[in-house]
Amino acid sequence: METYKLFGDQKDSLISMTLGDLLTRVAQVYPDNDAVLFNEISSPASQKNNCFRMTYKEFNEECERVARGLLAIGVRKGSHVSIWATNYPQWIVTMYASAKIGATLVTVNTNYKIFEAEYLLKQSDTDTLILMEGLKDTNYVQIINELCPELKDSQPGDLRSPSLPVLKRVIYLDEKENTPKGMYHWSDISEKADTISVDYFNEIKAQVSPHDVVNMQYTSGTTGFPKGVMLTHYNILNNGKNIGDNQTLTPGDRVCLPVPFFHCFGCVLGIMACVTHGSTIVPVERYNPVRVMETIQREKCTATYGVPTMYIAMLEHPDFFKYDFTSLRTGIMSGSPCPVEVMKKVVDLMHMTEITIPYGLTEVSPVCTMTNIHDSIEKRVATVGRKMPFVEVKVVDPETYEDVPSGTPGEVVVRGYSVMKGYYNMPEATSLAIDKDGWLHSGDLAVIDEDGYFKITGRIKDMIIRGGENIYPKELEEFLYTHPQIKDVQVIGVPDKNYGEEVCACIILKENEVSSEEEMKEYIRVNLSRHKMPRYIWFMDKFPMTASGKIQKYKMREAAIDALNLHEAAGIETA
């Protein structure tokens, strides 16, 4: 009923609308409903008692004012506007302001250092950069000044740098008095809005199409250099709406978002799902278990999002039982498999009886399968649900591309409205990802059960070929999780002179636990076939991960070659 108010007879079909028009529509239908509630002591984003609270009417007006300000400083339809910041409210304002004028928002990973930032800004042809001072030990301002030493001597909006020739404008988000030379301050943008007439602004808005690229998300780099995934208004608006539909979001829901906005998890599953349902966005600037628990209690949130480790950190926090979670009902857990005992605690202790589990990838906007609020805990732990509406999802033989029967492993392929427009300036990579029939090849291995539920079993590139025999890491990982001393485990292939590859189990033990290679191998020997026995057991303190919580197995493999002295087998010369 609520989505009918927004979309009328289109509520059960794909919506052909821009993000800007969507926000205007929500502001008309739910003008007094809270759009964004933000309360972070550490953030300068809020000007009134460290607080940013806007209704949808106020939020739309703010986005339109910033959109006009962006036009005033030279941003145009087709411009690439990068934002390098944590979950500030201005992040969301930038998303919709740039969408209203047909600019493309390029999201920058907040963990990037200078090499990665330079790569993204160059590869994306960013002409406008919006940034905060920095995060932890990384100073973003220092990085941009190092990349563009000309910035300090430039007038705001007139940067000319040989190293980043496309970049013209840099906008600073933090305290105005600290604005570096050569940069605009965020407040300058709103102040310049009045130089753009409403009539001209409306003309620009009318030129924006639902099929224009609105968002460029960079892949998380689990297999090499990130690629800029071009997503349209049509892609992410409909994906966000379908995700929200699956959680039965309404204007009465308040969604706590501690997951990063630069990732699809925060941007589409979070922001877009909320706006398409008139729900309230409650950002947490960056994840901290206490902040999340405080926010849920203070704002009486009805949903929250996170990867399993985020939920585990809250459940295991010594102050967990001091907080009130009774307002919660739904949410999303994604990123990696969740142990069944953790899921039961999330349902029982956090009251998230309707929590959902999605699967997807950036290239499909991103969700293509998802459990629903009525699925059993077993289904929510063992599977990633059934296919989402309006897309085709199937499992094929990765070599022949023929469909495989239920219960047989194969590659997940996706076709439909949500498939990306392509990788920015990478036509060859695009043609490798999307075949001539329009199927996006995920690289993920899965099986489908007789009820249509998908279970992800691994990555094609993760598959280990030992002496001609295929070994799927996922199976061994799931078994090792049953060991009472193991906190986390990843299985990788490492080079071997005789067999081509050997199996290496990388293990993180629980706190205060001690074990040995012999003990672990004995546990495996008793329970699994001999050919699945790892040649190496490597105890680690932590795994290399992307900012969105994905394990970087290629980095683990590189580290293992060094740690296990496998350079000769890998064909690597060392000094």
- Average pLDDT for runs of 10 along the chain of length 575: 80 95 98 94 45 95 99 99 98 99 97 90 99 95 98 98 98 97 98 98 98 93 76 99 98 98 97 99 97 98 94 96 98 86 95 98 98 95 96 95 94 98 97 97 95 89 76 84 93 86 95 95 84 91 80 88 89 43
Is 493 in a helix, a strand, or coil? strand
pLDDT at 46: 40
The model's pTM: 0.86
Cα 30–chain centre separation: 28
CATH number of 463-570: 3.30.300.30
Q: Which of 202, 160, 249, 158 is nearest to 67 (CA)?
A: 202
Is 483 in a helix, a strand, or coil? coil
pLDDT at 43: 45
Domain ranges of the chain: 18-238, 463-570
Token readout for 43 is 């953030």
pLDDT at 120: 96
pLDDT at 50: 56
pLDDT at 30: 98
pLDDT at 466: 82
* Domains 18-238 and 463-570 equal at CATH topology level: no
pLDDT at 49: 44
pLDDT at 223: 53
Cα radius of gyration rounded to whole Å, the chain:
24
Q: What letter would DSSP give residue 268?
A: I
Yes or no: domain 18-238 corresponds to CATH 3.40.50.720: no
Residues near 140 by beta carbon (within 8 Å), at least 6 away in sequence? 84, 117, 131, 132, 133, 134
Token readout for 109 is 């990973």
Residues in the chain: 575
